[in-house]
Chain A
Amino acid sequence: MPKQIVYKHKLATRWFHWLNFPLLAIMIWSGLLIYWANDIYEIRIFGITIFKFFPEVIYQWFNAAFRLADGMAWHFAFMWLFTINGGLYVLYTWVSGEWRDLLPNRRSFGEAWQVVLHDLRLRKTKPDQGKYNAAQRVAYSAIIVMGFGSIVTGLAIYKPVQLAWLMWLCGGYETARLLHFALTVGYVLFFGIHIGQVALAGWNNFRAMVAGFEVVDKPAPPPGNSPAERAAKTAAS
């Protein structure tokens, strides 16, 4: 089968993506150091604690105990880089027109479900897709909305008096903190699924996120138009 090189991800997209990864990781890690100082959240069903954020072993793993000052210093320095990188990504995606591949359209939400069923091996066929499938469109757009949410709720907790209107918009000080935390849990879940999907999609797909291109089968030329067929036609006449 003839192969060809197809360019998939622009250099800018790859830079934004791979800068965001360590920046978000630092924000989550420093956020954990901050959260440790008042770790009140848990999942409770009928009064029974199902999961406490976080079990001691997690704090030990990240050496998070008694490091509130450290956490705040890193968090409030790297928030700028995280915000700037995210902002430039959105600006780039908008100006370059790449949003057309990324934003969910009318069909995406229904189709995303079909993609999930397919990926769970519950459905044989997959809906047609462009650069990104419907589930990817939904996920990669949602993650941007989440990032925006983290910045807004973060600002609300950071300046609850001077930006009191923002705090109010976020449902109050405590609610803003809870939302900020919940969004972070969302990133961790996203990360888990993302890594799993990348592993399943294989090398060609992963390489595209680093090198920008994929090696794919060349589409077959329209029937009756290949050089051999034309030669055969000429010979017959």
Chain B
Amino acid sequence: MTNNDDVQKISRRKTLKAFASFFALLGGGAAGLQWLASQPLDGGIRGGIPQPLRQALDQNEKIFRPLYSPEHLVQEYPKSAAAAEPRVNGDVGLDEATFDAATWQLNVLKKNGNQVSFSLADLKKLPKVEVVHNFKCIEGWSQISWWGGARLADFLAHYGLHEEAQMNHLGLMTPDEGYYVGIDMPSALHPQTLLCYELNGQPLPPAHGYPLRLIIPVKYGVKSLKRIGTMYFDNERLPDYWTERGYDYYIGL
């Protein structure tokens, strides 16, 4: 009997100790998560989510970026597999009331501060490249679609934008300045990144960004800006509509 009393005493002491530690750790963990969730949101170009989580996303970019290679091509499909009417998922930056297709041109802000403008005809002088790929939306859906246009890399090379192509980031903005993206240069120079003027072999419909849009298959669709108005460059990250709303800047697939 005395033996069992001892067992009971030891057991009670050990149990109390263990559960005290358990609940202390549980409370500590809960407090830690609460702290994380209540951290100030990053403002401006890095906005929308608690700062430590933004830092984690930026670290992820560093970890996964070495995987990127311009030789990793996005899988292509036969044209017959492409959707006849690809999904239209957003109209930010497509203000039709202020847009005049007749006077549209692509404005490029050069590194030296000069601005050069290009017409659609200037883009069509470059070799036409067609990409039929599984377009991936950050929301989680994907759809095979068929795009045609000029390689962004060809455009920069042909029109002497060499210094610009050496910079770290490329930015695009819609004519109404409502939508804008920043893209790391290696992804922008990927051979399947298009300055795109055709969908299913036809001129882009307005809802898909007539007259010229970006198609960048190595990123989620949010980077494939519709209706490019201005192109610009920087060595730092450039303003990005969805990054300001809490999304990762890099989102490389």
Chain A residues within 8 Å of B, Cβ to Cβ:
2-5, 18, 22, 26, 34-35, 37-38, 40, 68-70, 72-74, 76-77, 80, 159-164, 173-174, 177, 207, 210-213, 215
> Across the interface, which residues of A come within 8 angstroms of B253, CB to CB?
159-162
A73 to B49, Cβ gap below 8 A?
A: yes
> Across the interface, which residues of B come within 8 angstroms of A164, CB to CB?
72, 75
- Whole-angstrom CA separation of A74 from B33 in the bound complex: 11
> Across the interface, which residues of B come within 8 angstroms of A22, CB to CB?
29, 33
A34 to B140, Cβ gap below 8 A?
A: yes
Can you show 11 pairs from A to B with CB atoms below 8 A apart?
A3-B3, A68-B139, A72-B248, A77-B53, A159-B252, A162-B252, A173-B136, A174-B142, A207-B15, A213-B11, A215-B7
What per-residue 1/0 map shows which CB atoms of B66-82 lie under 8 Å from chain A? 01110010110000000
Q: Given known contacts A22-B29, A159-B64, A210-B18, what 16 new A-B pairs fall within 8 Å (CB)?
A: A3-B3, A69-B48, A69-B245, A70-B246, A72-B248, A76-B57, A76-B248, A77-B52, A77-B56, A159-B252, A161-B252, A161-B253, A162-B72, A173-B136, A174-B142, A207-B18
Flag whether B151 is at the interface (Cβ < 8 A).
no
Flag whether B159 is at the interface (Cβ < 8 A).
no
Flag whether B134 is at the interface (Cβ < 8 A).
yes
> For A26, A35, A72, A77, which residue has the most chain B Cβ atoms within 10 angstroms?
A77
- Identify the closest chain A residue to B18 (Cβ): A211
- Whole-angstrom CA separation of A2 from B2 in the bound complex: 10
Q: Of B19, B25, B57, which is within 8 A of A77 by CB?
A: B57
Flag whether B93 is at the interface (Cβ < 8 A).
no
> Across the interface, which residues of A come within 8 angstroms of B69, CB to CB?
162
A73 to B218, Cβ gap below 8 A?
A: no
- Identify the closest chain A residue to B25 (Cβ): A18
Flag whether B217 is at the interface (Cβ < 8 A).
yes
- Whole-angstrom CA separation of A162 from B74 in the bound complex: 9
| A-B pair number, CB within 8 angstroms | 100
> Across the interface, which residues of A come within 8 angstroms of B22, CB to CB?
18, 210
Flag whether B54 is at the interface (Cβ < 8 A).
yes
Query: Could you tell me which residues of chain B, from 1 to 52, have a CB within 8 Å of some CB in chain A?
Result: 3-4, 7-8, 10-11, 14-15, 17-19, 22, 25, 29, 33, 48-50, 52
Q: A69-B246, A70-B246, A162-B253 are in contact. Are A3 and B64 (CB under 8 A)?
A: no
- Identify the closest chain A residue to B22 (Cβ): A210
- Whole-angstrom CA separation of A70 from B141 in the bound complex: 18
B246 to A73, Cβ gap below 8 A?
A: yes
> Across the interface, which residues of B come within 8 angstroms of A18, CB to CB?
22, 25
A72 to B247, Cβ gap below 8 A?
A: yes
A161 to B11, Cβ gap below 8 A?
A: no
> Across the interface, which residues of B come within 8 angstroms of A215, CB to CB?
7-8, 11
What per-residue 1/0 map shows which CB atoms of B153-196 lie under 8 Å from chain A? 00000000000000000000000000000000000000000000
> Across the interface, which residues of A come within 8 angstroms of B29, CB to CB?
22
- Whole-angstrom CA separation of A192 from B253 in the bound complex: 35
Flag whether B60 is at the interface (Cβ < 8 A).
yes
What per-residue 1/0 map shows which CB atoms of B219-246 lie under 8 Å from chain A? 0000000000000000000000010011
Flag whether B138 is at the interface (Cβ < 8 A).
yes
- Identify the closest chain B residue to A76 (Cβ): B60
- Whole-angstrom CA separation of A174 from B218 in the bound complex: 17
Q: Of B68, B75, B137, which is within 8 A of A162 by CB?
A: B68
> Across the interface, which residues of A come within 8 angstroms of B49, CB to CB?
69-70, 73
Query: Could you tell me which residues of chain B, from 127 to 150, have a CB within 8 Å of some CB in chain A?
Result: 134, 136-142
- B210 vs chain A, min Cβ distance (A): 27
- Whole-angstrom CA separation of A26 from B72 in the bound complex: 33
- Whole-angstrom CA separation of A80 from B48 in the bound complex: 21
> Across the interface, which residues of B come within 8 angstroms of A4, CB to CB?
7
> Across the interface, which residues of A come within 8 angstroms of B141, CB to CB?
38, 40
- A217 vs chain B, min Cβ distance (A): 10
> Across the interface, which residues of B come within 8 angstroms of A69, CB to CB?
48-49, 242, 245-247
- B253 vs chain A, min Cβ distance (A): 4
> Across the interface, which residues of A come within 8 angstroms of B248, CB to CB?
72-73, 76
B4 to A2, Cβ gap below 8 A?
A: yes
- Whole-angstrom CA separation of A211 from B18 in the bound complex: 5
- A168 vs chain B, min Cβ distance (A): 9
- B217 vs chain A, min Cβ distance (A): 7
B60 to A161, Cβ gap below 8 A?
A: no
> Across the interface, which residues of A come within 8 angstroms of B3, CB to CB?
2-3
> Across the interface, which residues of A come within 8 angstroms of B19, CB to CB?
210-211
